[in-house]
């Protein structure tokens, strides 16, 4: 009915949707620029894979363990860095992501540079679809709740939010924790689909890929994350027909898409000439 290749693409679209939606919570709704999402994914992937391999837990439990593991580290790592803003936060998360990768590269437990083998294949399309629905459901509930309004308030103006009695550090930590949880879930699904893990795939280019998905789809839009994930998963595969020119065109596509629709496909248009996140970025402005 549907060939393994298309099945694989659908599964990857699903996993990337989870990654993009969870990053969207951090970036699109709370306005925190994180370039270390792949690290959370790898924490979830390794966490759940190790649990499966060593304790033989049922799939759902392993996934949960991986996700909680990622969330735990998300909070631990996130706490100190959340004091940072804008590009500084971005570069700090990038650094943290690289540190996580290097640690995995050197751990005996995770197979080091050789990688982790023999993870059983448990992820199916059904699991992925359920996980995507679960992620989208929970995240949209959060966004429509009091917590979500606090997130958006922080995005719009952190100082103002603080003065309205919103504990921005608490909410930012919460946001990173939740985002990392779902990134870990995506990582767990990924690990049990690929059956092999190697830290090299969780470098900063992968984080950048997630970032592109969110921005391309449109910040602060659930559908946007899905559409961004779909486009950026499918386009490189589609471009396989042009062989040598594949990544050349891919790069050009990114530039062109931003030119045509800088707010992303489903992003909110600019308000009062202030770009989304614009206000937020105006802080910590360096002087030459």
Partner 1 sequence: MKSRKRTMFVAAAAVLCLVLLAAIAGCAPKEPANGGDETTEIKIGMVGPLSGDAAAYGINILRAAEIAIEEANASGELGDITLKIISEDTEGDWAKAANAFTKLIDVDGVSVIIGGVLSSESEAGSDIVKDAAIPTISPSSTSVDLTKGNPYLFRNCLSDEVQAVQLAEFAVEELGMGKFAILFTKNDYGESLRDAFKNKAEELAEVVAVESFMDKDNDFKAQITKIKEKNPDCLYIAGYYTEAAKIAQQAQQAGMDIQLLGADGLCNVVFLEVGEDAVEGTYATSGFYPDDPMTAVQDFVKAYKDKHGEEPDMFAAQGYDAARIVIEAIKSKGTTSEQIREGIAATADFPGITGKTSLDEEGDTIKDVLILKVENGKFVRVR
Partner 2 sequence: MFIQQLINGLILGSTYALIALGYTMVYGIIELINFAHGEIYMFGAFVGLILVTVFKVPFILAFLLAMAAGALLGITVEYLAYRPLRQSSRLAALISAIGASIFLSNLALLIMGAQPYTFPSPFDATVYRTSLFVISKVEIIVLASSILLMIALTLFVQRTKVGKAMRATAQDKDTASLMGININRIITITFAIGSALGAAAGVMVGVYFRTVTPTMGLMPGLKGFVAAVIGGIGNIPGAMFGGIALGIAEVMGAAYISSQYRDAVAFALLIIVLLLKPSGLLGRTAQEKV
Joined together, the tokens standing for residue 108 give 């005996």
Q: Which is nearer to partner 1, 101 or 172 (CB)?
A: 101
**Residue 89's beta-bridge partner residues?**
none
Contact pattern for partner 1 over residues 101 through 120, marking x by CB under 8 A: ----xx-----xxxx-x---
Distance CA 44, CA 174 (A): 17
CB of 37 to partner 2, least distance (A): 14
| 140 forms part of the interface with partner 1 (CB under 8 A) | no
| 125 forms part of the interface with partner 1 (CB under 8 A) | no
Question: 8, 20, 27: which is closest to 281 by C-alpha?
Answer: 27
Letter string b/e over residues 241-260, b meaning 16 or more CB atoms within 10 A of that residue's CB: eeeeebeeeeeebeeebeee
Task: Name the binder of 12 from partner 1, partner 2, none, CB < 5-8 A by kind.
Answer: partner 1
Q: Which is nearer to partner 1, 163 or 241 (CB)?
A: 241
Q: Which is nearer to partner 1, 181 or 190 (CB)?
A: 190
| 265 forms part of the interface with partner 1 (CB under 8 A) | yes
Contact 184, 69 (CB under 8 A): yes
Secondary structure string (H, E, C) spanning 259-273 = HHCCCCCCCCCCECC
Residues forming contacts to partner 1 in the complex (CB under 8 A) are 3-6, 8-9, 12, 105-106, 112-115, 117, 121, 190, 194-196, 198, 200-201, 217, 223-224, 227, 230-231, 234-238, 240-241, 243-244, 246-247, 265-266
């Amino acid at each position: 009915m549907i060939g393994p290749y298309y099945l694989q693409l659908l599964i990857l679209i699903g996993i990337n949707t989870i990654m993009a939606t969870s990053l969207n919570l951090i970036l699109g709704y709370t306005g925190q620029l994180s370039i270390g999402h792949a690290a959370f994914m790898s924490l979830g992937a390794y966490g759940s894979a190790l649990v499966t391999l060593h304790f033989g837990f049922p799939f759902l439990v392993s996934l949960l363990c991986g996700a909680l593991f990622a969330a735990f580290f998300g909070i631990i790592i996130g706490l100190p860095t959340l004091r940072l803003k804008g590009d500084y936060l971005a570069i700090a998360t990038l650094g943290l992501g690289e540190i996580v990768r290097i640690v995995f590269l050197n751990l005996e437990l995770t197979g080091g540079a050789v990688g982790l083998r023999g993870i059983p294949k448990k992820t199916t399309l059904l699991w992925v679809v359920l996980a995507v629905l679960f992620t989208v459901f929970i995240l949209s509930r959060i966004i429509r709740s009091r917590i979500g309004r606090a997130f958006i308030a922080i995005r719009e103006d952190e100082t103002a939010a603080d003065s309205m009695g919103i504990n921005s550090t608490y909410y930012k930590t919460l946001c990173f924790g939740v985002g990392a949880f779902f990134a870990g879930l995506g990582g767990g699904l990924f690990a049990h689909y690929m059956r092999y893990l190697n830290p090299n795939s969780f470098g900063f280019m992968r984080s950048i890929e997630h970032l592109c998905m969110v921005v391309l789809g449109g910040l602060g839009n659930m559908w946007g994350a899905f559409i961004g994930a779909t486009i950026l998963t499918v386009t490189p595969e589609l471009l396989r027909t042009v062989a040598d020119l594949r990544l050349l065109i891919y790069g050009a596509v990114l530039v062109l898409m931003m030119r045509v629709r800088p707010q992303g496909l489903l992003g909110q248009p600019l308000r009062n000439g202030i770009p989304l996140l614009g206000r937020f970025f105006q802080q910590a402005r360096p002087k030459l």
